[in-house]
Copies of this chain bind each other. A is one copy, B any other.
Amino acid sequence: MQLTQALHRAAQLYPERTATVFRERRRTYRESAERVARLAGGLHNLGITKGERVSVLAVNSDHYQEAMLACWWLGAVLNPVNTRWSAAEIAYSLDDCGATLLVVDDQHLPLLPGILAGVERRPMLLHAGMAQTPSGALCMERLLASAEPIADSRSGGDDLAVIMYTGGTTGRPKGVMLSHAALLITVLLRLAEQAPLAKLVGLNVAPMFHIAGLAVAYARVVSGDTNVYIPGFEPVELLETLCREQVNETLLVPTMLQALLVHPRFAEFDLGCLRHILYGASPISSALLDKAMAQLPQADFMQVYGLTENTGLVSFNPPANHGAEARAAGLHRSVGRPVCGQWVKVVDSQGEQVPRRAIGELLVSGPTVMQGYWNKPEETAKVLKDGWLCTGDAAYMDEDGHLFIVDRVKDMIISGGENVYSAEVENVLATHPAVALCAVIGIPHDTWGEAVHAAVVLKPGAEVGAAELQAHCRAQIAGYKCPKSVEFREAMPLSAAGKILKRDLREPHWVGR
């Protein structure tokens, strides 16, 4: 159960197959394995030993994959840094996990002075890029060129493989500890649900500092296939790369998919190669799925639902649940069935299991649950109870075992004593032809405690008033669930994963409360 076994296997079975593509740069599995063994040797020469943390602050690229695999080869722990964070936040996380080394790419060199000013313990610096290596840092290509390959440490099983920071919605970010076995089993569980693609070419645009991006990229090493990287979500580069590399699988978050489909140049590109579209991080609206399936008729859509704390995979919603018959039954709004190996239960606030179709908090248990939050036993104890991970997601299960996530438990609105799940209201709002994006939150109300409030971004050129949207909702859902107020916005605040940041929408309403 060693994460590097997949690299050894691919290099042995088909050394000349393409492992990574980044713009003009292509590496075979033979080259990739050789570079990883030498990079591990270079890290070893820097004094990095098994169990030490190596942080990577970089956009997606083949170098990211090499750094990731070199960490595991050496037995070190990869800490992918959230590139959307401020220098102060990054400095906090480097100190928190005690990073020995920070790998930084060209794009993030400007953040370095701020980070270094903020840290209590200064890590060594390794620059992976084409720009000039700043003083005090080493150049990765030079390190590689001067190092000898070393033997794989054969780290695996319960050895720590990744520390990935999450949270930030409340309090300080927390370092989720994931083992070799957890990540490898997660990947196998998803592959077991999915039809294999011959000559898989996957494009990685979802950031590697999110578990879904990292796990899906690593999965292609497991199957010995090709990983194409682009540095970030830029629609034209994405479309061009999909065509040029004949990509047949990619993971997108729904907001990326939406932006692609409405892009003025979308129709210029023949995306007939694209067979698998994995999505996650947030549910997909019926309207977006309709559009996507119309514009990409050859693609199978499938959803991965999970959270960093269980290595990103609780359940899988297969292509079959996106077909016409299943959609009529609403199965595309499900996150699918829990995958094998995941114990799940839906509980009330007393921790008692609720009946089928009743909403409660989803708890999960199994071999892919994190070892805990790094150095935070109290925070760990709050979410890991008797081996059960509290997901914070409000969910129910239907008669056939499909899970439906209705909301974050803490996002649930309690208005006049009634529970209102934002997702339900958002699904209704999204079906209005004028609505491009929407988010429903609770805002303070003297009588009801909270009132249902909608933030809406209209489609270009569309015009509609609050009254019409409220009437649209009242025609479909109970009155107490309908927005009592509507705010029209130019854009939504988005997280790095493309999720709408509801806390930013909520904040102005709750100031001083």
How does the 8 Å CB contact mask read for A194-228 relative to B, with 1 for contact and 0 for none? 11101000000000000000000000001110000
Residue in B185, B188, B194, B338 whose CB lies within 8 Å of A13: B338
How does the 8 Å CB contact mask read for A1-13 relative to B, with 1 for contact and 0 for none? 1000110110011
Q: Determine if A118 is an interface residue (Cβ-Cβ < 8 Å).
A: no
State which residues 340-360 of A face B: CB under 8 Å: 340-344
Q: Is there contact, CB below 8 Å, between B5 and A366? A: yes
Chain B residue nearest in CB terms to A402:
B13
Given A14-B401, A198-B320 in contact, is the A5-B192 Cβ separation under 8 Å?
no
Q: Is there contact, CB below 8 Å, between B195 and A192? A: no
State which residues 313-350 of A face B: CB under 8 Å: 318, 320, 337-338, 340-344
Copies of this chain, tallied across the complex: 2
In whole angstroms, how far apart are the Cα atoms of A400 and B401 in the complex?
41
State which residues 135-194 of A face B: CB under 8 Å: 184-185, 188-189, 191-194
Contacting residues, chain B, for A231 (C-beta < 8 A): none
A164 to chain B, nearest CB (A): 22
In whole angstroms, how far apart are the Cα atoms of A344 and B13 in the complex?
10
Q: Is there contact, CB below 8 Å, between A222 and B14? A: no
Q: Determine if A367 is an interface residue (Cβ-Cβ < 8 Å).
A: yes
Contacting residues, chain B, for A337 (C-beta < 8 A): 13
Residue in B185, B222, B340 whose CB lies within 8 Å of A5: B340
**Interface centre among A5, A194, A222, by most B CB within 10 Å?**
A5
Residue in B191, B318, B367 whose CB lies within 8 Å of A192: B191
Q: Is there contact, CB below 8 Å, between A192 and B188? A: yes
A163 to chain B, nearest CB (A): 23
Contacting residues, chain B, for A189 (C-beta < 8 A): 188
A366 to chain B, nearest CB (A): 7
In whole angstroms, how far apart are the Cα atoms of A9 and B340 in the complex?
7
**Interface centre among A318, A340, A367, by most B CB within 10 Å?**
A340
Q: Is there contact, CB below 8 Å, between B6 and A340? A: yes
In whole angstroms, how far apart are the Cα atoms of A194 and B222 in the complex?
15
State which residues 1-50 of A face B: CB under 8 Å: 1, 5-6, 8-9, 12-14
Contacting residues, chain B, for A224 (C-beta < 8 A): 340
Contacting residues, chain B, for A184 (C-beta < 8 A): 341
A153 to chain B, nearest CB (A): 15
State which residues 373-402 of A face B: CB under 8 Å: 397, 399-401
**Interface centre among A12, A185, A194, by most B CB within 10 Å?**
A12
**Interface centre among A6, A9, A222, by most B CB within 10 Å?**
A9
Chain B residue nearest in CB terms to A184:
B341
Q: Is there contact, CB below 8 Å, between A343 and B196? A: no
State which residues 229-283 of A face B: CB under 8 Å: none
A50 to chain B, nearest CB (A): 19
Contacting residues, chain B, for A188 (C-beta < 8 A): 185, 188-189, 192, 340
Q: Is there contact, CB below 8 Å, between A400 and B340? A: no
In whole angstroms, how far apart are the Cα atoms of A378 and B457 in the complex?
73
In whole angstroms, how far apart are the Cα atoms of A70 and B195 in the complex?
32
Q: Is there contact, CB below 8 Å, between B14 and A223? A: no
Q: Is there contact, CB below 8 Å, between B195 and A196? A: yes
Q: Is there contact, CB below 8 Å, between A14 and B195? A: no
In whole angstroms, how far apart are the Cα atoms of A188 and B222 in the complex?
13
A-B pairs with beta carbons under 8 Å apart, 8 shown: A5-B340, A5-B366, A9-B342, A12-B344, A13-B338, A13-B397, A185-B188, A191-B191
Closest 5 CB pairs of A and B: A13-B401, A191-B192, A195-B195, A188-B188, A192-B192
| 18 further contact pairs, Cβ within 8 A, besides A13-B338, A188-B189, A198-B320 | A1-B185, A5-B341, A5-B366, A6-B340, A9-B342, A12-B401, A13-B337, A13-B400, A13-B401, A188-B188, A188-B192, A188-B340, A191-B191, A191-B192, A192-B196, A195-B195, A222-B340, A224-B340
